[in-house]
Chain A
Amino acid sequence: MREHITEKDLFDFVFFPTLLSKEKFSYLENSDDFKEEIEFFIDLKNSLQLELTPKQKQLIAEKIPAYNPVSIIKLYPVEQAKKRKVNGLILAAASENNNKPTVTSRTFYDDNKTYIIKVLNYENSSKIFVFSTQYEVIKNFDLIISPQNLRYHIDDNTIPLELDFNVNPETVTLEFNLIKQS
């Protein structure tokens, strides 16, 4: 069997074992003849699963202009707090307001609660505030409102995004370019 084993067989043994004939699979599984070659492909397979470091990504971007990685963070709406009740009575402060409020707000968090987005809808306009729970100024990112897929570029989060219409996002996505532009 040894003299019939090709590089493709070794590749398949590691990446696509079901494509290999039973005889070859059994031989490779039970023999040490191609141990080093198989280890090479196993290491390759493992290396594909490793995350690149920011430094490596930076290096790739320097050498390959087409490479432009982004970090995508999705934020979901926080469930509305239930109206507070005391002994079955709805408190006045939490009671229904018969007049339609002039301002409504919704809050969005990401899974790690690193970012908070507050969407304020006024009568015919809206403001979107982006906050970081790390108390940092967030710079140079895109904000995408779904499902309408409205994309806005924001230089930094010190001032809110102002729109001359109401928005009702299901989710909001923040996209950061990981590579510093020179």
Chain B
Amino acid sequence: MKSGIEILPLLQSLDCSTSRNKLIEVSFKIAVHYIRLNHRRVRKVLLSEEITADELALEAIASLFGTDEQNNFCVLQDSLKKWQPAVDNEHEAQRFLNNIIRSKVNQHIAKLLREADPFFSKLLDKVNYQIKKNSFRKIHYLGCVYIVPDNSEEISGKIIPEQEFNQLPIELFKYGENFIQKIFNYLNAETSFASAIPLNLLVFKLKETDTTFFAVQESTSAQIEEKDMDYLVDLAIKRTLEKLNRTYIQKGKLRSNELSVFEKTLIDIAVDLKNGGVNPGLHKYFLLNYANLTYEEYKLRYQNILEYLFKLLKQYIVEELDH
């Protein structure tokens, strides 16, 4: 093993506390590396949740090291048993650990992106539906998930870099029955890149380019009400403010000038949600709209309300998208 750390002996002695500690440390280092590879995409999540890359990496891999009653790493050991080919040499041990950590990191990033951005979440569902319907497959490659044609076991060749993917013709990013196949066709015919489409980048690109995306229905083309993202967000804000009014204003828990601050704050947050995610710390939105309020006062009086309303706003956006 050329990295100086041998994984196979660690996997073979999971009852030894030194091995367990070492394995957790190595896994943490791998996870941090994959998080940093995705840094641009998760930056907003890290900022908005106010967590570090190290913390994110640990959240991603912690479940692997959960223990059962006998103090075994049940999840990890189960994966180890299922891994093909069997992990009986250092090469396979390295690949096993690298792949399982990479996969955990990707799952966690996808989960966070979904939680942070209801539009991303909805679009991802729709793209996943198309993947399943057309029997495409999803394959991990260097810390990202790629859509590949159904006959692919692995990706061979050069993957399209992000910059070049974003420069593909805009008409390819129009959601429809065969839009994924059209992108494959384009990659094959017009470029020298492998037939592999970066999933998250595709979703971001759809969100950015196809503003009427959310009006498209799966089964019918007749009498579709054209609802774009702005319209849906406006509806969600309206519902959130109604809730605020019912729960806090009518019961005398907030004054009308405070209502106005919440209104402005929620609108600012919604604008950023549409554009990829909220900025660091919800309190900053609030303080911008409430002159002379200190952070301590905000924490004491408004933080819980704003966090609750923010959750509601995201929930209402999802519900409007589902209508």
**Among listed A46-54, A80-88, A104-112, A115-123, interface-contacting one:** A46-54
B3 contacts A48, CB within 8 Å? yes
B95 contacts A11, CB within 8 Å? yes
Given contacts A63-B59, A63-B62, contact A44 B33 (CB under 8 A): yes
**Among listed B16-24, B125-133, B291-299, interface-contacting one:** B16-24
Residue of B nearest to A36 (CB): B161
The CA-CA distance from A60 to B62 in the complex, in Å, is 9
A33 at the interface (CB under 8 A from B): yes
B233 at the interface (CB under 8 A from A): no
B156 at the interface (CB under 8 A from A): yes
Given contacts A47-B29, A63-B59, contact A6 B155 (CB under 8 A): yes
Residue of A nearest to B25 (CB): A52
**How near does chain A come to B238, taking the closest CB pair, in angstroms?**
40
A159 at the interface (CB under 8 A from B): no
A7 contacts B58, CB within 8 Å? no
B94 at the interface (CB under 8 A from A): yes
A67 contacts B37, CB within 8 Å? no
Which secondary structure dominates chain A's binding surface? Answer: helix
Which residues from A are CB-within-8-Å of B17? 68, 70
Which residues from A are CB-within-8-Å of B91? 12, 15-16, 19
Which residue of A17, A33, A40, A66 contacts B73 across the interface (Cβ within 8 Å)? A66
Which residues from A are CB-within-8-Å of B55? 59, 63
The CA-CA distance from A57 to B17 in the complex, in Å, is 15
**A residues contacting the other copy or chain, number (CB 8 A):** 40
A69 contacts B157, CB within 8 Å? no
The CA-CA distance from A10 to B66 in the complex, in Å, is 31
A151 at the interface (CB under 8 A from B): no
**B residues contacting the other copy or chain, number (CB 8 A):** 45
B142 contacts A44, CB within 8 Å? no
Residue of B nearest to A37 (CB): B142
A79 at the interface (CB under 8 A from B): no
B4 at the interface (CB under 8 A from A): yes
Given contacts A48-B4, A66-B20, A66-B73, contact A40 B154 (CB under 8 A): no
A5 at the interface (CB under 8 A from B): yes
Which residues from A are CB-within-8-Å of B142? 7, 10, 37, 40
**How near does chain B come to A88, taking the closest CB pair, in angstroms?**
52
Q: Which of A1-44 contact B (CB under 8 A)?
A: 2-8, 10-12, 14-17, 19, 33-34, 36-37, 40, 43-44
B20 contacts A56, CB within 8 Å? no
**How near does chain A come to B50, taking the closest CB pair, in angstroms?**
15
23 A-B residue pairs with Cβ-Cβ distance under 8 Å, sorted by A, are: A3-B156, A7-B155, A11-B95, A11-B98, A15-B1, A17-B2, A33-B158, A45-B3, A47-B29, A48-B3, A48-B26, A49-B4, A56-B28, A60-B25, A60-B28, A63-B55, A64-B24, A64-B62, A64-B65, A66-B24, A66-B67, A67-B65, A70-B21
Q: Closest 4 interchain pairs by CB?
A: A3-B157, A63-B58, A45-B3, A48-B3
Q: Give 17 A-B pairs besides A50-B29, A64-B24 with Cβ atoms closer than 8 angstroms.
A: A2-B192, A5-B158, A11-B94, A15-B3, A17-B2, A33-B158, A37-B142, A37-B159, A44-B98, A45-B2, A60-B24, A60-B28, A63-B62, A67-B20, A67-B21, A67-B24, A69-B21
